[in-house]
Amino acid sequence: MFHHPNDVSPCQKGFAMRERFADRLLEAPIAPSFSRLGLRVRARMENWRSLGTYDLSGRTVAITGASSGLGWAAAHRLADLGARLIVIGRNDQRTNECASSLANPNGVTHTALTADLSEPADVHRLADTLRTDHSDLDTLIHNAGALLNHRATNSAGIEVTVAAQVLAPFALTGLLLDTLRGNRPARVLTMSSGGMYTAGLTVNRLQMSSENYRGSEQYARAKRAQVTLNEQWAALVPASEVVFHSLHPGWADTPGVQDSLPRFHRYLKPALRSPAEGVDTLVWLVADDHALDDTGVFWHDRHPRPLHRLPRTRRSDTPKRRAELWDWCRDQTGIDPPPSTGS
């Protein structure tokens, strides 16, 4: 909930201050902020606009990782609001099941596309299909995000978490940039993770070796890179053409968490958000005009959030490393987008 100081009464200013104070109390310790309690308290204190009041008729949204968990929940919520969905997943059956189960209040036809985002050839085929068959695309959601317990590589020798969650979003964004610019103001949204707060920004150690591989750490490094790239895209592309936002969902009860973090899931299950609660801010960023007011922001529970909680990760976030990350992604993908097409 945003307030302009010239538009509110003293009473409203006082209430806004209480809202911010309550939000800071929740945000300071991780558990209350990331749990379902944090979302519910904020929604009530700040009188969030109900997602059900938005109308996304005429909007076309592509979302990766739509075959389960947060992606499935987001696709269904967006379809309920009237958007036309292009759901993208690695598993053909589950992705088609997602598309066929979506509501179509406006009589729109939803589309299922299958792609393994860890494979560059699949990413390019996906981009070709989206450019050719979905020229009205105005929102691209990078949501795919598996956490692996064992190291694996793609056909090019890149660790698959990094390939699917860093290089694939970079390539898709670059390959679809002209399509998105043609439907301005467009939106590119990246679902990161609160786990990125534990990881510093690195390029030469972005891919963990087999000897020291830990799935949760590899995931956190990739998610940190995602958030940094979100800011870099926002600096490159004018907000009048495309806005870029990243976010984290808090702790959500998804199949991925159940499978990859069983102990975490077992102990914290009562505090976990439902998938629908986990995608509230994502859907809000698709639907609400506040998303067009700024670009390059990292969000949680409808609020901009800091990029760092720990001094050591802040120290790692240098201009040199940021430039190295962009250059590495450009070199690996062959994507080097121009800054603007002009007005």
For 173-194, how does the pLDDT look when each residue is reduced to its tens digit (9 = 90+)? Answer: 999 999 999 999 999 999 999 8
pLDDT for 234 beyond 50: yes
Enumerate the active-site residues: 219
CATH class belonging to 55-333 = alpha beta
- Residue 255 is predicted with a pLDDT of 63
Torsion of CA 293, 294, 298, 304, to 10 degrees: -50
Q: Span 137-148, mean pLDDT?
A: 93
- Residue 251 is predicted with a pLDDT of 75
- Residue 147 is predicted with a pLDDT of 86
Q: Span 287-292, mean pLDDT?
A: 97
Kindly list the strands in the beta sheet with 297-300, ordered across the sheet, starting from the edge strand earlier in the chain: 111-114, 84-89, 60-64, 139-142, 186-191, 242-247, 297-300, 303-304
pTM to 2 decimals? 0.90
- Residue 265 is predicted with a pLDDT of 56
The residues spanned by each domain of the chain are 1-48, 55-333
Output phi, psi for 8, to 5 deg.
Answer: -125, 150
Place of tokens 């939106």: 187
Residue 15 — pLDDT band, cuts 50, 70, 90?
Answer: very low
> For residue 176, what are the CA distances in angstroms to 136, 166, 264, 335?
11, 16, 37, 11
Give which of 255, 216, 315 is closest to 67, Cα–Cα. Answer: 255
The lowest-confidence range among 9-23, 221-235, 250-264, 305-319 is: 9-23
Residue 12 — pLDDT band, cuts 50, 70, 90?
Answer: very low
Distance CA 3, CA 195 (A): 30
Residue 40 — pLDDT band, cuts 50, 70, 90?
Answer: very high
Q: Span 335-342, mean pLDDT?
A: 70
Q: Span 299-305, mean pLDDT?
A: 95
Residue 139 — pLDDT band, cuts 50, 70, 90?
Answer: very high
Torsion of CA 49, 51, 56, 59, to 10 degrees: 110
- Residue 297 is predicted with a pLDDT of 97
The lowest-confidence range among 3-12, 17-26, 104-113, 288-297 is: 3-12
